[in-house]
């Protein structure tokens, strides 16, 4: 089967806690704890599948019970997992985070060592499959060497999620080979070493690298998109977030969807912002409300 999108990146166990009230440092806070399937690559792949896009996901899996659950779960919603890397005697990657009572993340710890097993040598065996897709999506949990290999060897447009301030630097050497980079404001400031909140010079500096399209996400304010010839700002959705974890990944998935459907730039920005905002309305990292029917409704509202 030929897939529209191949996502290469992290899949992990997300363990999250949300406080019932104001967080008190150095104390036991009453709240709710949940365990879900996460990882930037996984979140983007699941959102795309939920939007009706055919997706293949190349991710590292361990041989523990959670990895077996993850494999079954993703295959059950139509995500192709036949090219995933199954590592013997390895546990799942794990991401631990704490939210305050407003849904904002206060602290997180990630144990993503297994992602290093997605090496250039492994991916070299998957290039034929990768190049059959219309779009390739990568996250910055991949190593510098693997990101460089993908950038230099795939023939399709690459959409990249910087993942975090620290990991964003892994994208720096290959920005000229990336079609769309979607950092948040802080990641973009770090990449460009420009501290101003004015997004125009930040985007300009990103584009100077050869990057084709800079998408800077701005939380509840949506996103700003700039290309060599055009710039747009999305309209804020005006919603109160329940949980912001995963919203950026939903927005990135929406950018890919918009590209596949040839949306003009302003419609791309508004659509991506709406989908990102919708993701914040769910306590889950992957919102059950993002469906092909809802996507169709959002598109109709924007027309």
Q: State how far the alpha carbon of 115 is from the alpha carbons of 14, 59, 91, 150, 226, in Å.
A: 15, 8, 11, 15, 31
Indicate the domain borders of the chain: 5-22+31-302
- Cα separation of 213 and 221, whole Å? 19
Can you give the pLDDT of all 303 residues of the chain as single tens digits?
789 999 999 998 888 899 999 999 889 999 999 888 888 999 999 999 999 999 999 999 998 899 999 999 999 999 999 999 999 888 888 889 898 998 888 998 888 889 999 999 999 999 999 999 999 999 999 999 999 999 999 999 999 999 999 999 999 999 999 999 999 999 999 999 999 989 999 999 999 999 999 999 988 888 999 999 999 999 767 777 777 778 899 999 999 999 999 999 999 999 999 999 888 887 787 888 899 999 999 999 998
pLDDT of residue 102: 87
- Please answer whether residues 259 and 272 qualify as being in contact, where contact means their C-beta atoms are separated by less than 8 angstroms: no
Element of type H or E holding 224: strand 223-226
Judged by phi (left if over 0) then psi (alpha if -120 to 50, else beta), residue 60 lies in beta
DSSP classification of residue 235: P
- Please answer whether residues 148 and 171 qualify as being in contact, where contact means their C-beta atoms are separated by less than 8 angstroms: no
pLDDT of residue 14: 82
Name residues whose C-beta falls within 8 Å of residue 23's C-beta, 6 or more positions apart in sequence: 29, 98, 100, 101, 106
- Please answer whether residues 129 and 84 qualify as being in contact, where contact means their C-beta atoms are separated by less than 8 angstroms: no
pLDDT of residue 70: 94
- Cα separation of 96 and 256, whole Å? 27
Q: Which parts of the chain are beta strand (E)?
A: 5-8, 12-19, 31-38, 55-58, 60-61, 85-86, 93-99, 105-111, 135-139, 158-161, 180-181, 213-217, 223-226, 231-233
pTM of the model: 0.90
- Please answer whether residues 178 and 135 qualify as being in contact, where contact means their C-beta atoms are separated by less than 8 angstroms: no
- Beta bridge partners, 210, equal none
**In what side-by-side order are the strands of the sheet with 55-58?**
55-58, 5-8, 135-139, 158-161, 180-181, 213-217, 223-226, 231-233
Half-sphere exposure of 232 (CA within 13 A, CB side): 16
- Cα separation of 284 and 268, whole Å? 24
DSSP classification of residue 82: T
CATH number of 5-22+31-302: 3.40.1190.20
First-residue to last-residue Cα distance in the chain: 33
- Cα separation of 47 and 51, whole Å? 6
- Cα separation of 17 and 80, whole Å? 30
pLDDT of residue 121: 98
């Amino acid at each position: 089967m030929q897939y529209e999108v191949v996502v290469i990146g992290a899949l992990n166990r997300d363990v999250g806690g949300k406080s019932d009230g104001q967080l008190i440092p150095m104390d036991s806070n009453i709240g709710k704890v949940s365990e879900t399937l996460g990882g930037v690559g996984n979140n983007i792949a699941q959102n795309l599948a939920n939007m009706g896009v055919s997706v293949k996901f190349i991710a590292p899996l361990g041989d523990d019970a959670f990895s077996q659950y993850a494999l079954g779960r993703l295959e059950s919603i139509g995500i192709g997992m036949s090219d995933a890397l199954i590592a013997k005697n390895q546990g799942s990657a794990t991401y631990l985070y704490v939210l305050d009572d407003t849904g904002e993340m206060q602290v997180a710890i990630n144990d993503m060592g297994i992602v290093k097993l997605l090496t250039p040598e492994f991916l070299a065996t998957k290039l034929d499959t990768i190049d059959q897709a219309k779009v390739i999506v990568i996250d910055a949990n991949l190593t510098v060497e693997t990101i460089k290999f993908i950038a230099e060897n795939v023939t399709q447009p690459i959409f990249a999620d910087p993942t975090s301030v620290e990991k964003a630097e892994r994208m720096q050497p290959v920005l000229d080979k990336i079609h769309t980079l979607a950092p948040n404001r802080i990641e973009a400031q770090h990449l460009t070493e420009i501290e101003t909140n004015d997004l125009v010079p930040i985007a300009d500096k990103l584009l100077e690298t050869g990057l084709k399209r800079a998408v800077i996400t701005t939380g509840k304010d949506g996103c700003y998109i700039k290309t060599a010839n055009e710039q747009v700002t999305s309209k804020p959705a005006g919603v109160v977030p329940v949980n912001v974890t995963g919203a950026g990944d939903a927005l990135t998935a929406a950018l890919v969807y918009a590209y596949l459907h040839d949306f003009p730039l302003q419609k791309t920005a508004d659509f991506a912002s709406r989908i990102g905002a919708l993701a914040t309305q769910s306590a889950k990292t992957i919102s059950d409300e993002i469906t092909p029917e809802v996507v169709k409704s959002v598109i109709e509202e924007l027309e």
